[in-house]
Amino acid sequence: MKILHTSDWHLGRTLYGKKRYAEFEAILSWLISTIQQHQVEVLLIAGDIFDTSTPSHRSQELYYRFLYDVSATCCRHILVIAGNHDSPSFLNAPKTLLRALNVHVVGAITESPEDEVITLYDELQTPQAIICAVPYLRDKDIRRVEPGETLEDKHTKLVEGVKSHYQQVCAIAEQKRDDFKSSGYTHVPIVAMGHLFTMGGKTIEGDGVRELYVGSLAHVGKDVFPSSIDYLALGHLHIPQCVSDIQHMRYCGSPIPMGYGEAAQQKKVIIVEFKNRTALIDELDIPCFQKLERISGSLGEILARIEQLKSDKSSAWLEVEYIGNEIVSDLRDKCNEALKGSAMEIRRIKDKRVIDAVMRTMQEEETLDDLNVNEVFERCLEANNISVEESAELISAYNEIVKSLHEEDINAE
């Protein structure tokens, strides 16, 4: 049995206003070809299918068409869990219909942990794997709020909540495996899924990865996952990586760069086979379907790099950062002129001199449009002379409120 592990598609995400549907369509087509080429039987999608809880019609079309196309290949089972960007009710709404295509969807935890334990069979009804399809665990799902809690109390409860949930779900999977063993099926692997931030996880500037829990303390460790798990397929972090260097606990990463910080990163999917429950892991490189290029330097260095890219027939989307000392009032015009005759386009221009000048005068001239919600609250605390000790608790409570607003499932009713 071959399993393909992917996650964090973020269908519908834009890059400084530029729609990226051609990239999404290309990566989904590549996934279908890869499934056929490697004779993949099980596809795991570990959350953040969409970039928002209200995906566009075109994003939905890409998603459903992909599921239909995969169901017509050698792939017998598709398992989808929700990530923190996804709407649980939106993903769950068609789950009964999608079962006809052998697509299992788990949008949110339910009162019964058994709902997250799915046994996969081959055409002869031989058990192939037991999947613990654990979706993104929202704060309200795993922690009971009590008055007077400290930030450390919240952190402890969140970690214990995640650990307890995985223990419950995996205990059910272990019992199923014992039952299969007594029936003569001795090597049925347990594969767990999840969408969370593990301790020591690597991120990149501009990747859009949100902190999942208040205070950013609740990064779970490897010990929250039961030892019975033969492979752990995680989503949320966009860089392919292992959890604490444990080879069978993996993030596959996002399939396309979500920002210029990821531009030079090799994207991957993971194919897993089992030999007597030992996971044999193979990383496959994903082709780059839209080159992103970050150029930083003086005006001369920027224009020279553009000329080099033109000679290479590049069609990259550019982020240009000017860090020279001279004032260049027509920086964008000069860059656009240099791009003439090429397929490249500029998505963003940053002028360090202008940024520095703005930062020096921001206090006097800034408006609400210049600040995010956290900065507005912090300015309120400063204006009211709130002490540092009190501010920490108030900021924590405020972040908890903002977090609850982000997690509200507006599609639920």
At 156, is the pLDDT very low, low, confident or very high (cuts 50, 70, 90)?
confident
Q: Which of 40-54, 311-325, 395-409 has the lowest mean pLDDT?
A: 395-409
Quote the pLDDT of residue 401.
73
Quote the pLDDT of residue 88.
94
Residue-wise pLDDT tens digits, 291-304: 999 999 999 999 99
Give 155 or 124, the one with higher predicted confidence: 124
Residue 230 has pLDDT above 50, yes or no: yes
Section 396-403 average pLDDT: 71
Section 140-154 average pLDDT: 76
Residue-wise pLDDT tens digits, 161-183: 999 999 999 999 999 999 999 99
Section 331-347 average pLDDT: 92
Question: What is the total residue count of the chain?
Answer: 413
Considering the chain, what is the average pLDDT of its residues? Answer: 87
Question: Per DSSP, what are the bridge partners of residue 235?
Answer: 195
* Contact predicate 91/82, CB 8 Å: yes
Quote the pLDDT of residue 218.
54
Q: Which of 16-20, 78-82, 352-356, 360-364 has the lowest mean pLDDT?
A: 360-364
Q: At 334, list the tokens.
A: 């000069």
Residue-wise pLDDT tens digits, 178-224: 999 999 999 999 999 999 998 888 877 655 565 555 444 457 889 99
Q: Which of 51-55, 275-279, 384-388 has the lowest mean pLDDT?
A: 384-388
Give 73 or 370, the one with higher predicted confidence: 73
Quote the pLDDT of residue 147.
74
Residue 131 has pLDDT above 50, yes or no: yes
At 413, is the pLDDT very low, low, confident or very high (cuts 50, 70, 90)?
low
Helix (H) or strand (E) holding 354: helix 352-365
In angstroms, what CA-CA distances link 243 with 80, 190, 250, 252, 367?
A: 21, 17, 6, 11, 42
| Distance in angstroms (rounded) separating the CA atoms of residues 107 and 411 | 12
At 395, is the pLDDT very low, low, confident or very high (cuts 50, 70, 90)?
confident
Give 99 or 381, the one with higher predicted confidence: 99
* Contact predicate 50/63, CB 8 Å: yes
Residue-wise pLDDT tens digits, 65-111: 999 999 999 999 999 999 999 999 999 999 999 999 999 999 999 88
Quote the pLDDT of residue 210.
55
Sign of CA dihedral 168, 228, 237, 214: positive
In angstroms, what CA-CA distances link 59 with 12, 55, 66?
A: 6, 6, 11
Residues sharing a CB contact under 8 Å with residue 220, sequence separation 6 or more, in sequence order: 159, 162, 163, 196, 197, 198, 199
Section 389-412 average pLDDT: 69
At 353, is the pLDDT very low, low, confident or very high (cuts 50, 70, 90)?
low
Quote the pLDDT of residue 216.
47
Quote the pLDDT of residue 375.
73
Q: At 364, list the tokens.
A: 């006097």
Q: At 124, list the tokens.
A: 């002869």
Residue 366 has pLDDT above 60, yes or no: no
| Residue 308 DSSP code | H
Quote the pLDDT of residue 290.
95
Residues sharing a CB contact under 8 Å with residue 336, sequence separation 6 or more, in sequence order: 346
Residue-wise pLDDT tens digits, 234-251: 999 999 999 999 999 999
| Distance in angstroms (rounded) separating the CA atoms of residues 358 and 366 | 9
